[in-house]
Structure 1
Amino acid sequence: MKLQDQIGQELHFKSAPKRIISLVPSQTELLYDLGLEDAIVGITKFCVHPNHLIKTKKVVGGTKQIHLDKIQALQPDIILCNKEENTKDIVEACSAICTVHVSDIENISDCLAMITQYGEIFKKQNLALKIVEAIQDNLKDFQSYIQNKTTLKVAYFIWKDPFMVAGKETFINHLLQLNKFENVYADLARYPEIQPKEDKDIDLVLLSSEPYPFKEKHIEELKAYYTKANIQLVDGEMFSWYGSRLIQAFAYFKWLHQNLV
């Protein structure tokens, strides 16, 4: 089998890979939901879903720093990476060990394409199709739910010290748009550093649970800047994890809209 991954690398497979290392938490969860738990031999310390994998699989580092010796010792057939999560150096180093598949996700279509491609690579086409269809059905239902909602001006914070937000060309920004949340930082690329300042036009400030674990105390801190805005803690996994996590995301978004205080 021959195919191109999402950054255009041409990959060749004589058979379905039997020993998989995943360097992307959301893609690890997808592998599990595709029935590939037994084939997973290595994961990152951030691969927390399902939570038992961290005890049963070899941890080979994080998403930005890896232990190549541990990866090599596991003798993988394939290593799964992501353009945003993993560095170019990591991809190149892993490519010297075995085949590396790199995903590149900016929107739902990219997610569905990745899931479909995993189905082809690992001979799990039927399960992949079920996941794709579930996401599509839940998205369609959510689009119907959201169509009459008022558009809100939103800032989505991912980090503190320095403060960083989600900008354009990110999966988070795409999901904000689906929620009719107009990202006030959509003119800035990727994940810019910003200095909070009083902005009475912002309706809603979302503080993500990851990668920085925002807490209630940070709501009070940011109220000094966003005096008119509704400030909410949100589940960052629902806004940034792609793959099978999207099956749950749209029900969460409904709940969020219903519980904006």
Structure 2
Amino acid sequence: MIPLVDQLGRHIDTSRAFKRVVCLVPSQTELLYDLGLEHLLVGITKFCVHPNHLRSNITVVGGTKNVHWETLKSLNPDIVLCNKEENTQQIVEQLEDFTQVHLADIYNLDDCYELIQQYGEIFKVARKAEFLIQQIKKKAKEYNSFLSGEPRQKVAYMIWKKPWMLAGGDTFINHMLEVAGYKNAFKNHSRYPEIELSDLHTSKIDLLFLSSEPYPFKEKHKEELAGVFPGTEIVLVDGEFFSWYGSRVSLALEYFKELKLQLKTKKAD
């Protein structure tokens, strides 16, 4: 059998049966669950909140960037699932000292489909994986039809405060903004740029999205910024639907439609 190569070039021997899995990425934990693989999970992070019962039944090994090493090693995992952006290079290198590592690297929906397909091969659930991919593609096609003729509003997507930080280009968030039917005003900036609020004035945005994660923006922040940008629509958005990949993309497409309709209704009022 030809070894599978993960999204960073690591070879995974798919002839093996992986029966003890640790996942250090919340969206990938949810994906495993939706592929019917909960029974393989022996370790997850404190941020693996979907579905919410997992943290009660499965050992929590810390966060995505701060791992409790003794706890993780004691689980004797066959494989640990990581992501280039979520987990540090140091974590990956330490893991490779004692177990197999699969590393995801996601920038767009094609990368997402590739990851789902790889999990299907690694964990012997190829049919379920293909069904999920086709389900997402069908919803994406339907959403594109819904968007037909819609103007693409210019948006800034805020992810952090002190310092103010936005989602720039070369990110999955940027791609999902495009999928959702918006133009990212900061697409030409690398990754997650720090900005001054004055930069938002000069960018002439139509919408300012305040994400629920990683910084938990609330109504009070919306009110604070409304005083600075009186002519700009400021919207609290669910960050999971813009930044989580895997099976959550299917739900994201439904969320994007609801968001578009809400903004249309508000504008009409």
The TM tier, using the shorter chain, reads over 0.9
Match of 1:211 in 2: 214
Q: Distance in 2 between matches of 1:17 and 1:216?
A: 45
RMSD, aligned α-carbons: 1.1
For residues 72-123 of structure 1, give each alpha carbon's deviation from its aligned partner in whole angstroms, at most 9, with x where no partner exists.
Answer: 1000000000011001001111111211000000000000000000000000
Distance (whole Å) between structure 2 residues aligned to residue 28 and residue 179 of structure 1: 24
* 8 Å Cα contact 1:173/1:186 also seen in 2: yes
5+ residue gaps, structure 2, are none
On the 8 A contact 1:168/1:187 being kept in 2, the answer is: yes
1-side partners of 2:229 and 2:123: how far apart? Answer: 48
Alignment of 1:179-258 (within 5 A): 179-197=180-198, 199=201, 201-258=204-261
For 2:230 and 2:174, locate their aligned partners in 1 and report how far apart those are by CA, in whole Å: 23
Q: Report how far residue 192 of structure 1 moved.
A: 1.2
Q: Which whole-Å CA distance do the structure 2 matches of 1:19 and 1:144 have between them? A: 42
**Number of matched residues?**
261
Tell me by how many angstroms 1:41 deviates.
Answer: 0.2
Structure 1 unpaired stretches of 5+: none
Cα separation, 2, equivalents of 1:189 and 1:70: 36
Matched-pair contact (CA < 8 Å) for 1:68–1:94: no
1:67 alignment partner in structure 2: 68
Moved segments of 4+, more than 6 Å: none
Tell whether the 8 Å contact from 2:26 to 2:49 is kept in structure 1 after alignment.
yes
Larger deviation, residues 98-107 vs 196-205:
196-205
Q: What residue number does 2:142 align with? A: 141
Whole-angstrom distance in 1 between the partners of 2:68 and 2:95 = 10
Q: Which residue of 1 aligns with 2:92?
A: 91
- The residue aligned with 2:45 is 44
Work out the CA distance in 2 between the residues paired with 1:14 and 1:180.
42
Find the residue that maps to 1:259 and give its secondary structure.
Answer: helix
In the alignment, is residue 259 of structure 1 matched against residue 240 of structure 2? no
Q: Is the 8 A contact 2:180 2:253 kept in 1?
A: no
Q: Please report the TM-score for the alignment, with normalisation by the length of structure 1.
A: 0.97
TM (norm. structure 2) is 0.94
